[in-house]
Amino acid sequence: MYIIEAKTHHVELWHDWSHLLDRHFKLTMSAAKRGMGPRKKAPEVQEETWSSGSLLPEGSTKRGGLLLAPQLFAMATHWMLREIELARLTSDDIAFDIKGRTVSLTLQGSKMDQSAKGVTRTLQCLCKDSCDLRCPYTRSLKSW
């Protein structure tokens, strides 16, 4: 959006729009779209639908189905992950601090990581009684 606004502002100020500027504009637009995933969005899933599920896997899944689908959906929702970030996660990208009841997630190749060193996010368990799928610490611990 910013790239398009910059181009519009440049042209409205009566500056020339050269072939070189057009080439850089197209390269920048391509780079901004890299790793975005499909443009089609799934319908919103209400929190009550996934948060009431079990923390532990429930039997097997249908042929071709996704194992731990509710747990993965809850994790992606809580951490605000894009599909491509969730797909790239491995168990090495997750660290637990049992004493502080925190979980840290390291995202390799994140859209927000301009230096390509990896971005780390940390969340803490704030549950008073028992934990459910909304708790980032317990859910991540059980899923991995």
pTM of the entire predicted model: 0.51
* Residue 23 domain flag: yes
Task: Tell me how far apart the terminal alpha carbons of the chain are, to the nearest angstrom.
Answer: 37
Q: Identify whether 6 is part of a domain.
A: yes
For residues 133 and 80, membership in a common domain is answered with yes
Q: Give SS3 for 107.
A: strand
Look up the domain containing 24 and give its range. 2-33
Q: In what order do the strands lie in the sheet with 119-124?
A: 94-97, 102-107, 119-124
Burial 44-71 (b: 16+ CB within 10 A, else e): eeeeeebbebebeeeeeeeeeeeebebb
Residue 42 lies in a domain: no
pLDDT at 58: 58
Coil vs helix vs strand at 122: strand
Report the C-alpha gap between 128 and 122 in whole angstroms.
19
Same domain, 75 and 26: no
The total number of structural domains in the chain stands at 2
C-alpha separations of 40 from 20, 36, 37, 45, 47 in Å: 32, 11, 9, 15, 21
Residue type, 45: V
Is 61 contained in some domain? no
Distance CA 94, CA 75 (A): 12
Whether residue 129 is found in the same domain as residue 79: yes
Each residue's pLDDT tens digit in the chain (144 positions)? 888 888 899 999 999 999 999 999 999 988 888 877 777 766 776 777 666 666 555 555 566 666 677 677 777 877 888 888 888 888 898 888 888 888 898 887 666 666 767 788 888 887 777 776 677 766 555 554
Res 12: pLDDT: 92
